[in-house]
Amino acid sequence: MASEPTGPRAIALLGTGLLGAAIGQRLLQRGHRLSVWNRTPERCAPLLAAGAELAATPATAIAAAEVVVTVLSDGPITAAVLLDQGGSALAGRSVVQIATIAPDESRQLDVAIRSLGGHYIEAPVLGSRPEALAGNLQLMAGGPAASVERLWPLLQDLAGTPVRLGEVGSAMAAKLALNQLIASLTHAFSLSLHLVQHAGVEVEAFMALLRGSALYAPTFDKKLERELAGDYANPNFPTAHLRKDLLLFLAAARGAGLAVEGLEGLAALLERATPAGLDGLDYCALHALTAGRPAAAAPA
C-alpha cells in the first residue's frame, strides 16, 4: 500500500505491558516522540529512561499526540480507557488498536471514536517482545483504506510488511483464527509428547519422525525444551492471554454458526490454569495441565 513518507510523530502509548513496552521501545528507536500511560506507572520506567514522557492520565497522553496506540489487556478495558478517560481528547486523533479483542468490540470502538471526531484502525499482531523490538511483528490492519494508508509508515516501523485485510473487524477475526491455532497446536503436541514419553519412546526419535512429516509445525520445537524441563517462566505470551483469546474465538465462531464442541474441552482445560497458578506463565504451561495430574505452578 502506497503512502506519503512521514517523519517522526507524536504518539501516545496506552498500555506498557510485555508487548506494549517493547512496541514503545521500537517507536522510540524509530525517532517518534512518545507519551506513555499505564495503570501501574512503575511499568513505564524503562520507556521513560529511553526518552518517553509519562502522562498522568490517558487524556493527557492523547492531548499531546496525533496518533494513539493502545496495547491494553482486553476489549472492556480498552473501551474504558479510550472512551471514558480519553473521550473528547480523541477528536482529530488516529487510534491504532493493537490488543486482541472481539471483532464486535473493535467495530463498536470504531463507531464510538468516529462519533468523537477521531479515526480508528485495528492492528493486531503476531509475535511477541523480540519481534516487536526488531520491528518484525506480523501486523494485520483492519479499517478504511484511507485511514490505514495515512498510518502506513508507522505500521511499517512495527512490521516491515503489514497487511490490510479489510474493514474494521476483519483483522481481529484473522488474529483470533491464528491464536486459536496457537492453542490447538500447543494442546495437540503436548498430549502426543506425554503419550510417547509414557510409552518409553525416546523423544528425539519421535521428533525426527515428526519433523520429517507433513504434521510438523515449528512451534513444536520452539516449545519442546520448555515442556521437557517444566520451565514456563519469563513468558512472552502468558497462559491467561491464551485462554482469553480462545474464549473470544469461541464466541465469534458461535456467532458465525460454526460447530465448536471440539474446542470447548480445551477452553475448560485452560480454566484450570488459574487455580494451578499458571496464568502468568508462558502459554506452553498448558503442558502441565495435559499431564492429567494436579498441576503445580512452576517457579516464577
Of the candidates 181, 299, 280, which has an alpha carbon nearest to the alpha carbon of residue 239? 280
pLDDT of amino acid 236:
87
User: Mind giving me the DSSP string for 66-88?
Assistant: SEEEE--SSHHHHHIIIIIIIGG
Q: What is the mean pLDDT of residues 101-126?
A: 98
Q: Are strands 138-142 and 125-126 parallel, antiparallel or unpaired?
A: antiparallel
**Ranges 68-77, 160-169, 230-239, 285-294: which has the least confidence:** 285-294
Of the candidates 137, 172, 174, which has an alpha carbon nearest to the alpha carbon of residue 157? 137
When the pLDDT of each residue in the chain is averaged and rounded to a whole number, the result is 95
Q: What is the mean pLDDT of residues 276-297?
A: 87
pTM over 0.85? The answer is: yes
pLDDT of amino acid 148:
97
Q: Are strands 119-122 and 94-97 parallel, antiparallel or unpaired?
A: parallel
Residue 252 confidence (pLDDT) above 50: yes
Q: What is the mean pLDDT of residues 161-188?
A: 98
Q: What percent of the chain has pLDDT over 90?
A: 93
Query: Which domains can be identified in the chain, with CATH numbers?
Result: 10-167 (3.40.50.720), 173-290 (1.10.1040.10)
Residue 2 confidence (pLDDT) above 80: no
